[in-house]
Amino acid sequence: MRNSDSEKPGGIEWAQVTPEAVVVATRERAWLHRLDAFDADDPFAQPMRCAGSLVTTRNLLDGAISAAQQTVMPTGGRPRLSEARWVWRLAGYYHTTHATPRLMAEAAERFRAAGREALADYAMEKVRDEGGHDELALRDLRALGIRAEEVVAEMVPPTAAALVDYFTRSVRAANPVGCVGYAYALERLAVTNGRDYLGQVEAALPSGMRATRCLRVHSAESADARHVEDALIVTASLPAADRRLVALACYETALIACSPPPGGHLSETALRQRVAAFRLQHSN
């Protein structure tokens, strides 16, 4: 395989995601390639320079997300859903969705100033699409009998805080294109939330309680599938150096999103105690 400087599509793309590993993608699949410091002829040790395509770029980005998930998989799954834990997750949804319009608007300004119109247009479309999603989380919290504004002011789940911090750093990096990878990864993960997950959430809540508005717009039943395609289209047209950064951001975002928080998950008892302080007096 020849790593050409001609920017012609070669049917294969790759991006280094850790000092030891590279995600490699063809039209058929993606895999994690381990680098050997003693193999001077390893073509994947060199930066990719070929042009992208919708098929190989999709596999590259999805491969980066999958590699991150496999890294954290042995640590165990999520705790069992409960009403209190759903309040905690809604607080997390609030913080990540609240940050998106502001930070994507900032990214759009930076892209526009650099003459990168396609990326600026993509970022502004995100501002329009994501506006008001934080209010959906607040409405869900109110439906659960929670003083919504107070709880999100006091509850900042570590994973949500880490995601917003990563998003902020991506937007303010020398090259802000990593914010596209951040958005792609979160929306790609969101579309894996299907009817089964919605059913699990509803089963964990009191009968007849409707508190899944925010989840529904970030699930397989929402427009997130189209948003994933939008990010893919803009990424596939980028120069190789940018696609490498987007793939790396996909990996790092998924690693944050899928890892347990530092110190582990809060116990059910601890969560119930925290949530109880924010319940409306008339709520059960």
Q: Does residue 164 surpass a pLDDT of 90?
A: yes
Task: Note whether residue 96 is domain-resident.
Answer: yes
Range among 65-79, 140-154, 185-199 with highest mean pLDDT value: 140-154
| Domain at 259, CATH number | 1.20.910.10
Looking at the fold, whether 37 and 86 belong to one and the same domain comes out as no
Using the CB atoms, write b or e for 122-137: b if 16+ within 10 Å.
bbbebbebbeebbebb
**Overall number of domains in the chain:** 2
Q: Is residue 41 very low, low, confident or very high in pLDDT (cuts 50, 70, 90)?
A: confident
Looking at the fold, whether 44 and 149 belong to one and the same domain comes out as no
Q: Does residue 282 surpass a pLDDT of 70?
A: no
Position with higher pLDDT, 87 vs 282: 87
**Mean pLDDT, range 210-222, rounded to an integer:** 86
Looking at the fold, whether 39 and 153 belong to one and the same domain comes out as no
Domain termination residue (choose one: 72, 90, 110): 72
Task: Note whether residue 36 is domain-resident.
Answer: yes
Looking at the fold, whether 54 and 96 belong to one and the same domain comes out as no
**43 is written with which tokens?**
């073509």
Which pTM value belongs to this model?
Answer: 0.92
Looking at the fold, whether 218 and 151 belong to one and the same domain comes out as yes
List the domain range (segments joined by +) for residue 108: 80-276
CA-to-CA distance for 132 and 135, rounded, in angstroms? 5
Contact present, 64 and 253 (Cβ < 8 Å): no
Domain termination residue (choose one: 72, 104, 123): 72
Q: What is the pLDDT of residue 224?
A: 62
Q: What is the pLDDT of residue 77?
A: 66
Looking at the fold, whether 51 and 168 belong to one and the same domain comes out as no
Mean pLDDT, the chain, as a whole number?
A: 91
Q: Quick one: DSSP state of residue 207?
A: T
Looking at the fold, whether 204 and 242 belong to one and the same domain comes out as yes
Q: What is the pLDDT of residue 78?
A: 77
CA-to-CA distance for 158 and 257, rounded, in angstroms? 10
Beta bridge partners of 31: 24
Q: Does residue 4 surpass a pLDDT of 50?
A: no
CA-to-CA distance for 223 and 77, rounded, in angstroms? 26
Q: Is residue 2 very low, low, confident or very high in pLDDT (cuts 50, 70, 90)?
A: very low
Closest listed residue to residue 11, CA positions, set 50, 47, 61:
50
Domain termination residue (choose one: 43, 72, 101): 72
Task: Note whether residue 104 is domain-resident.
Answer: yes
Looking at the fold, whether 43 and 94 belong to one and the same domain comes out as no
Q: Does residue 7 surpass a pLDDT of 50?
A: no
Beta bridge partners of 23: 15, 32
Task: Note whether residue 152 is domain-resident.
Answer: yes
Q: What is the pLDDT of residues 68-108, one digit of tens each?
A: 999 986 555 678 999 999 999 999 999 999 999 999 999 99
